[in-house]
Amino acid sequence: MAKHHYLVALGSNMRHPRHGSPRKVIAAALAALDNGKYEVMAASPVIESAPVGPSRRRYANGVAVVCSKREPDEMLHKLHKIEHKFGRRRMGQAWGSRVLDLDLVLWSGGPWAGGEGDESLILPHPAFRARDFVLGPARRIAGPWRDPLSGLTINQLHARLTKPRPAPR
C-alpha cells in the first residue's frame, strides 16, 4: 500500500488540564500523530495568531507534514479522534474557542472530495490560500508543495497573500 503525505494544520487557543498552554497542546498533538501508523516528517515552529470569528483568545498555530498509508477520509477520522481525546466536542458554535483543531490542508494525491456530514472533506482545504496562520508556517517546512488546483507553490501562495497592497486613494 502506498504512503501518502498530508499537510495538517494544528491550532489551539485553550489550556488543556494535562498538557497546559496552547503551545504545549500543539506539541502533545504532534506526539499523538507520530505513533507508528502515522509519522510526522516535519513540523513548523508554532506561531501566535488572531482568532477567526467570535473567539477572543489568540491561537497557537502550526503545521506538520504527516506520512500515512491511510486515505484522506480515514485520516480525517483519525484527526477527529485525536481532537476528541483532547476534549474537543464538535457541537455548538463554529469558530469558537477550542483545545485542539486539526485540519487536513493538502495531500500528495491531489484534489479529493468525499465523506458525509461532520466527516465531509474537500482537499485542498477550501480556505487555506487565504490563511496566513497556515501558509506562514507551511512555507517553513513545505514551501515547494504545489496546490493542485492553482499550480502555485505554498511559497508563491504565501507571497501573494502577504504582498503589500497600495493604500486606497
Residue 24 belongs to a domain: yes
Q: Residue 96: what pLDDT?
A: 60
Task: Output 74 or 93, whichever has higher pLDDT.
Answer: 74
Question: One-letter amino acid identity for 126?
Answer: P
Residue 101 belongs to a domain: yes
Could you tell me the CATH number of the domain that includes residue 146?
Answer: 3.30.70.560
Q: Residue 51: what pLDDT?
A: 77
Residue 169 belongs to a domain: no
Provide the grid cell at 86: 483532547
H runs (alpha helix) in the chain: 22-33, 72-85, 132-142, 154-162
- Number of domains making up the chain: 1
For 95-145, what is each residue's pLDDT tens digit?
567 899 999 999 999 999 986 655 679 999 999 999 999 999 999 999 999
Provide the grid cell at 36: 507508528
Residue 51 belongs to a domain: yes
Range(s) of the domain holding residue 74: 4-162
Residue 158 belongs to a domain: yes
Question: One-letter amino acid identity for 80?
Answer: H
Q: Residue 94: what pLDDT?
A: 57
Across residues 79-95, what is the average pLDDT?
Answer: 77
Residue 44 belongs to a domain: yes
For 27-83, what is each residue's pLDDT tens digit?
999 999 988 778 999 999 999 998 776 667 889 999 999 999 999 999 999 999 999
